[in-house]
Amino acid sequence: MEIETSARLHLSLIDLNGLEGRLDGGIGITLEKPSLKMECTQTDDDTVIGFDDDVSIVNKEVYESKILDAEDKIKKYLNIDTNYSFRIHESYPIHHGLGLGTQLSLSVAKLISSLNDIELNAYELAKIIQRGGTSGIGVHSFDKGGLIIDGGHKKSVKNDFLPSSASKVSPPPLLARYDFPEDWDIILITPNISQGASGNEEIDIFQTYSPININDVERICYLTLMKLMPAVIEEDIESFGDSVNKIQSMGFKKIERDLQDSKVNTLLENMKSIDIPCVGMSSFGPTCFGITDSLSKDLINQITDLTDSDTHIQITKGKNHGAIIK
């Protein structure tokens, strides 16, 4: 059995203040590429994890750890002792702001539950494997695709500022989901710098810089409701870009960007200078993005000229469906 899912952009968390009784909330976009393709079969031996020869990744031990952790959790939930063999046919970097950790863990859980003829939806799987404890973008992208806005968590359920990797509460509710315009292109640009924050470093950042000023939270909510969401429905790239650009300059996203290597913010400013309507950094980076409805060879050449030779550039689109299992 094989599953195919893909990366997501995390545009911003909404509320790391909690004045009105909720925390977190997120805004994100499901991407067509890069993809994760993984195959799973039962085995009589110990768990086996393999990678196709053309899958070029570093930190394979991190991938293996996440696979084994998800396998252990779903097997305990299903009360089974079968072992499985996993083969990764296609993947993308972890801790680069593209949400691989959640997609990898959900894929393992979905494959094993499906092989055992147990139907569990993405929300149920995420609860079992303990993903989505801060942002629900990865969970809902896995389920439905599109542009996702989630509603965060009640403070009675989650009363501290923690990243998803350290928060074990259930995923947040889906507030809104829209098809991402098919005519909009998404440019992914990943500078060759240190990976985004994770683990204890990420926890420390949440603890140090929260709570966020309530004025920023209110402004993000207003821009999301009254500009970003209508712009997607009306396919208004200029309004969408303006809302994202403004959201990226405040709240917790501003902190995430301020903590980056100077190359990141220089790159984002340079992208704005060549009139890309929407630019930003996904999650804790270092992957940056530009969104436009007028992609051209000239624009691609300009972007290439702005970046170092070892920067990875990929053109993709939004994806309006969830993971596919076959």
Q: What Å distances lie between residue 303 and 197, 211, 296, 312, CA to CA? A: 25, 36, 11, 11
Global pTM value = 0.96
- Kindly write down the DSSP assignment for every residue of 88-149, as one continuous string: EEE---SSSSS-HHHHHHHHHHHHHHHHTT----HHHHHHHHT--SS--HHHHHHHH-SEEE
| Residue at 139 is within a domain | yes
* Statement to judge: residues 95 and 150 lie in one domain: yes
Domain end position, chosen among 137, 153, 178: 178
* Statement to judge: residues 212 and 106 lie in one domain: no
The CATH number of the domain holding residue 166 is 3.30.230.10
Residues spanned by the domain of 207 = 185-317
pLDDT tens per residue across span 236-295:
999 999 999 999 999 999 999 999 988 899 999 999 999 999 999 999 999 999 999 999
| Residue at 43 is within a domain | yes
14: tokens are 């909404």
* Statement to judge: residues 134 and 164 lie in one domain: yes
Task: Specify whether the CB–CB gap between 108 and 1 falls below 8 A.
Answer: no
> For the chain, what is the domain count?
2
pLDDT tens per residue across span 106-130:
999 999 999 999 999 999 999 999 9
* Statement to judge: residues 242 and 290 lie in one domain: yes
| Residue at 141 is within a domain | yes
Residue 199, helix vs strand vs coil: helix
The CATH number of the domain holding residue 236 is 3.30.70.890
CA 256/CA 297 separation, integer angstroms? 31
Q: What Å distances lie between residue 72 and 68, 75, 147, CA to CA? A: 6, 5, 31
* Statement to judge: residues 144 and 226 lie in one domain: no
